């Protein structure tokens, strides 16, 4: 493969203590009751909720709570980013080793295709010492209203890398990641995010069009090498 496109949340970073917690806390703040277990993942598996602000607002709407969207965003970001990145974002831990990313970067161009705010994505790459390995970031602002599963971000990343779709692979942990890759003509690898049951989540990703699913991101170099062999 000439290019490997990577999602951030659930692939590179364990967000169970950050984004997932911010969703639950923001919901409870406005709803006055705890968020039902599994509600967030059910939305993710449904597709169309790559943006966690939109997801949180949708959960509140489903509960009959008409909180204006800007208020949801402000409360979410107060918890997630905090003041000068002092919030839940600091609870995030790597879901992949630096050594694995170095292996991937030694054989292909890497790009981050994420629904994160781009400043947050760049901060996280710097925080974990990965910025030099993944120089291209296609985030929320660049995507506008064409976030995953729209293939726009995947196609744009390939254009900027100068790589054809058939020479690239995308690794993601949600159905939106997989659908975006496939719609762009890119082979897709599903990654089971930390804390999720491997068999059940693999089935969801495979059903969405993933060619293969792995239980951890550190398996990506081996899987990609096998895919390279199939492509020859």
28-33, long-range: CB within 8 Å, 24+ apart, which pairs?
A: 29/75, 30/60, 30/65, 30/67, 30/71, 30/72, 30/75, 31/60, 31/63, 31/65
Q: What is the C-alpha to C-alpha distance for residues 26 and 31, in angstroms, rounded to an integer?
A: 8
Pick the CATH number of 3-15+92-231 from 3.90.1570.10, 3.40.50.1000, 1.10.760.10, 3.10.350.10: 3.40.50.1000
Model pLDDT for residues 11-43, shown as the tens digit of each residue: 999 998 898 899 999 999 999 999 998 899 888
| pLDDT score at 230 | 62
| pLDDT score at 48 | 80
Q: What is the C-alpha to C-alpha distance for residues 137 and 135, in angstroms, rounded to an integer?
A: 7
Longest distance between any two alpha carbons in the chain, whole Å:
57
Q: What is the C-alpha to C-alpha distance for residues 216 and 28, in angstroms, rounded to an integer?
A: 31
Model pLDDT for residues 32-73, shown as the tens digit of each residue: 999 998 899 888 888 888 788 999 999 999 999 999 999 999
Residue 169 burial by CB count (10 A; 0-12/13-18/19+): exposed, middle or buried? Answer: buried
205: number of CA atoms within 13 Å, CB side? 28
Q: Which residues pair with residue 169 across a beta bridge?
A: 4, 187
Residue 141 burial by CB count (10 A; 0-12/13-18/19+): exposed, middle or buried? Answer: exposed
Size of the chain in residues: 232
Give me the mean pLDDT over the 158-172 stretch: 98
CB neighbours (10 Å) of residue 32? 9
Q: What is the C-alpha to C-alpha distance for residues 143 and 139, in angstroms, rounded to an integer?
A: 6
Give me the mean pLDDT over the 127-155 stretch: 96
Give me the mean pLDDT over the 184-201 stretch: 95
Q: What is the C-alpha to C-alpha distance for residues 93 and 95, in angstroms, rounded to an integer?
A: 6
Tell me what the pLDDT averaged over the chain comes to: 94
Domain ranges (residues) in the chain? 3-15+92-231, 19-90
């Amino acid at each position: 493969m000439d290019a490997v496109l990577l999602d951030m949340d659930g692939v590179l970073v364990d967000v169970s203590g950050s984004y997932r917690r911010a969703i639950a806390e923001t919901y409870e703040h406005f709803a006055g009751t705890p968020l039902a277990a599994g509600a967030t993942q059910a939305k993710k598996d449904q597709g169309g909720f790559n943006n966690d602000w939109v997801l949180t607002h949708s959960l509140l709407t489903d509960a009959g709570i008409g909180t204006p969207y800007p208020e949801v965003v402000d409360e979410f970001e107060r918890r997630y980013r905090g003041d000068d990145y002092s919030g839940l974002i600091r609870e995030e831990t790597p879901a992949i080793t630096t050594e694995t990313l170095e292996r991937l970067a030694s054989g292909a161009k890497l790009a981050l295709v994420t629904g994160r705010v781009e400043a947050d994505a760049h901060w996280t790459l710097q925080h974990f010492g990965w910025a030099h390995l993944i120089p291209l970031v296609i985030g929320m602002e660049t995507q506008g209203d064409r976030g995953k599963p729209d293939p726009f971000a995947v196609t744009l990343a390939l254009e900027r890398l100068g790589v054809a779709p058939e020479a690239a692979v995308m690794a993601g942990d949600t159905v939106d990641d997989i659908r975006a890759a496939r719609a762009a003509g890119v082979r897709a690898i599903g990654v089971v995010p930390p804390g999720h049951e491997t068999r059940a989540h693999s089935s969801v990703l495979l059903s969405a069009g993933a060619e293969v699913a792995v239980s951890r991101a550190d398996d990506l170099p081996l899987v990609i090498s096998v895919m390279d062999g199939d492509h020859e």
